Amino acid sequence: MPQLALGLASDRGKPIEIESNSADIDNKKGVSVYRGDVIMTQGTTRITGDIITIYTKQRDVSKVVAEGETARAYYEEQQDKGQGILQAWGFTIRYDVLQEDIELIRDGELLQKGDTFKGENIHYNLTLQTVSAKGRPQEGSNGRVQMIIQPRPEK
């Protein structure tokens, strides 16, 4: 089974569990496609979607793409160092394991520690904790990004 490095450092040694209605696995090409109400977990990390494609290099997971057809795909992980739970939605979620980047495409939303980022496309680097967002081209939204930043308690 390929190894995936998600979420807490302790999650990395845990098995990847995948449930789906069907699976097509090509070990030679390093591509596995799971279809139909797919649920993928490893420790505290959870990814759901109508289709999840896993790309591997030398049996290690390099990229995960979750797609939603009828509803947005979902990504969740418990983060290290008291950062809480990271939740992300998008009709396509691309997770580059090696770069620790998450890209939320089409109706992206990112929620962490009460802060919310919404936009048509959102790019989040897990290591650097940087966010880049582009607006929605929908009527009434003027193609803008929406952010809600919660006040932090004074120290």
* pLDDT tens sequence across 122-140: 999 988 889 999 987 666 6
- Among the listed residues 70, 118, 112, the one whose alpha carbon sits nearest the alpha carbon of residue 91: 70
pLDDT value at residue 58: 86
Q: Do 106 and 120 touch, CB atoms closer than 8 A?
A: yes
pLDDT value at residue 1: 29
β-sheet bridge partners, residue 143: none
Look at the alpha carbons of 136, 114, 44, 132 in this order and tell me if their dihedral is positive or negative. Answer: positive
CA–CA distance, 143 with 133 (Å, rounded to integer): 11
Q: What is the pTM of this model?
A: 0.88
In tens, the pLDDT along 2-37 reads 334 445 666 777 899 999 999 999 999 999 999 999
- Grade residue 41 by pLDDT with cuts at 50, 70 and 90: very high
Quick one: fold of 9-148?
lipopolysaccharide transport protein A fold (2.60.450)
